[in-house]
A and B are shown apart, each in its own frame.
Chain A
Amino acid sequence: QVQLVESGGDLVKPGGSLRVSCKVSGFSVSDYYIHWIRQAPGKGLEWVSYVSSGPAYTNYADSVKGRFTISRDDAKNSVELLMNSLRVEDTAVYYCARRLATERLDLWGQGTLVTVSA
């Protein structure tokens, strides 16, 4: 079955760190770009980061650059997002999604909730 499943969401204090994962089934994570997108409570979708197919190039939104690191584990067929120096405004449901040609995101996971609060 072709799917993405996020995990690792939790409650963390401001300034803390958290790693969320995206487990891929039904295709090889190394063959596709995988993106992270988040939705803060009451807000819209916000793109966060991607890791490319092949050489695993990465890119980040300005709001998380320098704090978040995306990585790919081909052996585990998964993608991870390491989040450091977390802020209250990072509170959101984090989704991973697969990118196809013309930059469309054809397959999404159900999301994992990250809450940053004292």
Chain B
Amino acid sequence: SYVLTQPPSVSVAPGQTARISCGGNNIGSNSVHWYHHKPGQAPVLVVFDDSDRPSGIPERFSGSNSGNTATLTISRVEVGDEADFYCQVWDSHTDQQVFGGGTKLTVL
């Protein structure tokens, strides 16, 4: 089955840029979606189709995808951005959704 690998944690100071990677075999040929998830709340889609943003998501959130790595970039990080972030793709071979292990973003 397809595996997505994320770093367990990323730390950044307020106002700086956070980058969260998502590794997978030839992931650049897939559409990658990103979610943030705060404890006790519903997960929220923040980037879809590698680099598009749903309405209501700030422009500070952006994404890219090429080769074996997709990246979520959060510019001008705010304390309120602290959350777990997950990448997700659809595995066409099994017709199943696949999530990365999640990355905890800490704003120092």
- The interface residues of chain B, by DSSP majority, are classed as strand
- The interface residues of chain A, by DSSP majority, are classed as strand
The number of residues on chain A lying at the interface, defined by a beta carbon within 8 Å of a beta carbon of chain B, is: 21
Contact with A along B56-100 (1 / 0, CB 8 A): 000000000000000000000000000010101110000111111
- Residues of chain A at the chain B interface (Cβ within 8 Å): 35, 37, 44-47, 50, 59, 61-62, 95, 97, 102-106, 108-111
Q: What are the 4 A-B residue pairs with the smallest beta carbon separation, nearest first?
A: A103-B90, A44-B102, A47-B97, A108-B42
Docked-complex contact A111 and B42, CB < 8 angstroms: yes
Cα of A45 to Cα of B4 in the assembled complex, Å: 12
Which residues of chain B in 17-42 are interfacial with respect to chain A, using CB atoms and an 8 Å cutoff?
Answer: 31, 33, 35, 37, 41-42
The number of residues on chain B lying at the interface, defined by a beta carbon within 8 Å of a beta carbon of chain A, is: 26
